[in-house]
Amino acid sequence: FLVGGAVAGVGAAAAIGIDLALTAEKDAAPVASGSTPLDGAEIVPFYGIHQAGIDTAAQTYGTFVALDLLPEVQREGQRRMMKVLTDDAARLTRGEPALADSEPELAIAKARLTVTFGFGPQFVARAGGVGPSWLKPLPAFSIDRLDPAYTGGDLLIQIAADDPLVVAHATRMLLKDSRSFTTVRWVQQGFRRSAGAYPERSMRNLFGQVDGTVNPEAGTVDFDEVVWSSDGWLAGGTGMVVRRIRMTLDTWDKLDRSGREQSVGRTLDNGAPLTGTQETDDPDFDARNALGFPVIPEFSHIRRARSENPRERILRRPYNYDDAPTGGDLSDSGLIFAAFQADVDEQFVPMQRRLDELDLLNEWTIPIGSAVFAVPPGCAEGGFIGETLLA
């Protein structure tokens, strides 16, 4: 059975033009994320200038929780809550139970857990603070079909780790400790490739595309400029956009391989631009085919997403979602598109505007949720997240 399966696999690969020898050769090449076997003991430090979970190589599982403040919770309550949640997050990331942890055995694995907090417009207003001018709902885009069930929120908590039980436990502890201050507005659960499952530089989304090739690299000056704010209480923090984007896999199925590649401007095989051979090759947007048409079409996603203005760049840190289909569909899948940038209005909005005007990928993608948060800087031991706003 296994041999038959393998042979069938080779047949299928040949049918869609994948060179298995080439793939095997690539397997041997040095690779970055997603290739190191999972080490449950690995800790991402909680304390620091920046919150963890942004320049951290994306973990396999990510849960995004948006909470709404109860009407009576004001600055003092917000401060108390952030102190408790900071303490929980610091302990759990070290593999220690939270205070009054109801399942302490679940806290032992660390699995690169990070907990990242973001403040919505209302959170900052309630604290009596002044937020950055971009801290507001994004402008309406014509492609949007926003569902209030995935839109807005006062406090965002991104909980990410390489183990799903670690994420579930941390989420529960944080929700229990925020219960007397907030109600749950929405929860979105996502995943990427498991550590060690397959050696690839960037993750793949559920369209099968290599996703994450062009992104600022953590630890570089470039990354710092794209991501970190230097503005008042937000200095050392960043702006976060969370868009829930449905990907209509059932209609994508009907598109042939060449159409799929043209819609993005990259190959499905290894994510190389249509003018190159390797994932990291620079796209040549001037190249033309024998008929005189651009090799990377004008309507392709990478052409439309890219700007000549170097300021218009973002850090994409998305997670796939794949929920139970309803109403006769075969899938309810897409991306939890989390993007970080110092200034949402200057960086994210012009990009999303261009994609709204023209992007062939829009045929198979529908934004159904949207929220914007100011992610405060990190803190030192003894401090708490949000202290620059609330202390």
Q: Which residues are catalytic?
A: 211
Residue whose structure tokens are 């868009």: 243
Strands (DSSP E) contained in 216-312 are 238-247
Whole-angstrom distance, CA of residue 179 vs CA of residue 175: 6
Give the three-state DSSP class for 50.
coil
Q: How far is the CB of 376 from ligand HEM (least distance, A)?
A: 23
Whole-number Cα distances in Å, 380 to 49, 117, 267, 348? 8, 15, 44, 30
Whole-angstrom distance, CA of residue 353 vs CA of residue 370: 14
Torsion sign across C-alpha atoms 132, 133, 137, 140: negative
User: β-strands 210-211, 155-161: how paired?
Assistant: unpaired
Whole-angstrom distance, CA of residue 118 vs CA of residue 122: 12
Task: Please report, to the nearest 10 degrees, the dihedral formed by the alpha carbons of residues 292, 293, 294, 295 taken in order.
Answer: -90
The end-to-end CA distance of the chain, in Å, is 64
Cβ neighbours of residue 307 closer than 8 Å, sequence gap 6 or more = 313, 350, 351, 354
Whole-angstrom distance, CA of residue 61 vs CA of residue 324: 18
Name the residues that contact ligand HEM, by CB under 6 A.
Answer: 205, 207, 209-214, 243, 245, 247, 264, 266, 271, 301-302, 305-306, 334-335, 337, 348, 351-352, 355, 361, 365
- H/E run at residue 257: helix 257-264
Residue whose structure tokens are 């060690």: 196
Query: Do residues 213 and 201 lie in contact, with contact meaning Cβ atoms separated by under 8 Å?
Result: yes
Q: Residue 49 has what DSSP assignment?
A: S
